[in-house]
């Protein structure tokens, strides 16, 4: 069966890490074909809003100022409250036009990350985001993270969750046990094996990786170190996405050494994703793939993914 994956799926998507936003920081975002801004208000609250001022279209992420939790347009200093409406036009003493408002998107800050809810019809969330052990816990170190921009569609990346056969030729990883399960908005992969990182060494590991909706995967990995990994892909447009990835290690007695290990993880993950990117950016998507008996449950995965387009 072929599925229609045009447009964008509904779900929670990770659009940043908490440590990227100090008080008053404003950043331009572009996701789902739309210009947005993300900023941290003086209260500490993260807000994601439409990127362009409704007045004459200036981008609020290019010189906009945060006052309280409000955003002020750099062009004519129109001030927009956190809940949407324009509350001040400094050069006008007449009533503010009722349509002068700025959309505030559903978002939350949790687990040291910033989540954005997207629904093509504008509906609210119909499933939740999990709380991870890293959330306000001294037993886990802060995220070490990075990001890549890739010319592909999320439907390509997400198929890795069932693709056991690619691990050896692409990632030099031997898999001994590989299982999948699909439960409502979750797609789960469990595997055990031995990794031979390109940078050297051997790591015998056990990993449980779970997609919570179509946009991000959280993995717990036990091997040389105990780690939590995140792999989050958020679509810029229908041909391009940002892939954010990070690692948090269980705290120990030698923070400097763990910092080195965390950076080594990021370096290895970056290498691994570039191995995937060579495939993703040059392949064609087969709606009716020719599968063999030992391929993973690719069509079951596609059926699971299709629920987020319904």
Q: Which spans in the chain are helix H? A: 154-158, 167-171, 255-280, 298-306
What are the sequence ranges of the domains in the chain?
A: 11-118, 144-309
Q: State the Rg of the chain over Cα.
A: 21
pLDDT, residue 122, reads: 96
The per-residue pLDDT for range 145-191, each reduced to its tens digit, is 999 999 999 999 999 999 999 999 999 899 999 999 999 999 999 99
Which residues are CB-neighbours of 106 under 8 A, at least 6 positions away?
A: 116, 117, 124, 125
Q: Count of alpha carbons within 13 Å of 106, Cβ hemisphere only?
A: 16
CATH number, domain 144-309: 3.90.380.10
pLDDT > 70: percent of the chain: 99
**Interatomic CA distance for residues 192 and 119, integer angstroms:** 35
Res. 199 pLDDT band, cuts 50 70 90: low
Res. 192 pLDDT band, cuts 50 70 90: very high
pLDDT > 90: percent of the chain: 90
Pair 195, 205: CB distance under 8 Å: yes
Sign of the alpha-carbon dihedral angle for 251, 256, 260, 266: positive
- For domain 11-118, give its CATH number from 2.60.120.370, 3.40.50.150, 3.90.226.10, 2.102.10.10: 2.102.10.10
Alpha carbon 75 to chain centroid, angstroms? 31
Res. 137 pLDDT band, cuts 50 70 90: confident
The per-residue pLDDT for range 76-119, each reduced to its tens digit, is 999 999 999 999 999 999 999 999 999 999 999 999 999 999 99
- pTM: predicted TM-score of the whole model, two decimal places: 0.95
The per-residue pLDDT for range 241-280, each reduced to its tens digit, is 999 999 999 998 898 999 999 999 999 999 999 999 999 9
Decide if pLDDT at 8 tops 90.
yes
């Amino acid at each position: 069966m072929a599925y229609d994956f045009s447009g964008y799926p509904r779900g929670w998507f990770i659009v940043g890490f908490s440590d990227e936003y100090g008080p008053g920081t404003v950043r331009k975002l572009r996701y789902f074909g739309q210009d947005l801004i993300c900023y941290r208000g003086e209260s500490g609250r993260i807000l994601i809003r439409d990127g362009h001022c409704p007045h004459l279209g200036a981008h609020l992420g290019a010189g906009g100022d945060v006052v309280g939790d409000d955003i002020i347009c750099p062009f004519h200093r129109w001030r927009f409250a956190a809940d949407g409406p324009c509350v001040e036009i400094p050069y006008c003493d007449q009533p503010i036009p009722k349509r002068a408002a700025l959309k505030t998107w559903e978002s939350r800050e949790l687990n040291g990350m910033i989540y954005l809810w997207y629904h093509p019809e504008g509906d609210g969330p119909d499933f939740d985001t999990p709380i991870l052990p890293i959330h306000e816990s001294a037993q886990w170190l802060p995220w070490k993270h990075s990001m890549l921009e890739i010319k592909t569609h999320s439907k390509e990346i997400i198929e890795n969750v069932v693709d056991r056969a690619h691990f050896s030729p692409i990632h030099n990883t031997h898999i001994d046990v590989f299982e999948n399960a699909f439960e409502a908005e979750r797609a789960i992969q469990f595997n055990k094996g031995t990794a031979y990182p390109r940078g050297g060494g051997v790591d015998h590991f056990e990993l449980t990786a779970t997609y919570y909706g179509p946009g991000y995967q959280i993995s717990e990995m036990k091997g040389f170190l105990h780690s939590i990994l995140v792999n989050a892909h958020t679509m810029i447009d229908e041909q391009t996405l940002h892939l954010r990835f990070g690692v948090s290690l269980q705290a120990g007695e030698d923070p400097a050494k763990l910092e080195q290990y965390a950076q080594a993880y990021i370096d290895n993950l970056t290498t691994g994703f570039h191995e995937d990117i060579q495939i993703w950016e040059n392949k064609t998507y087969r709606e009716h793939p020719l599968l063999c008996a030992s391929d993973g449950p690719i069509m079951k995965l596609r059926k699971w993914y299709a629920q987020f387009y319904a």
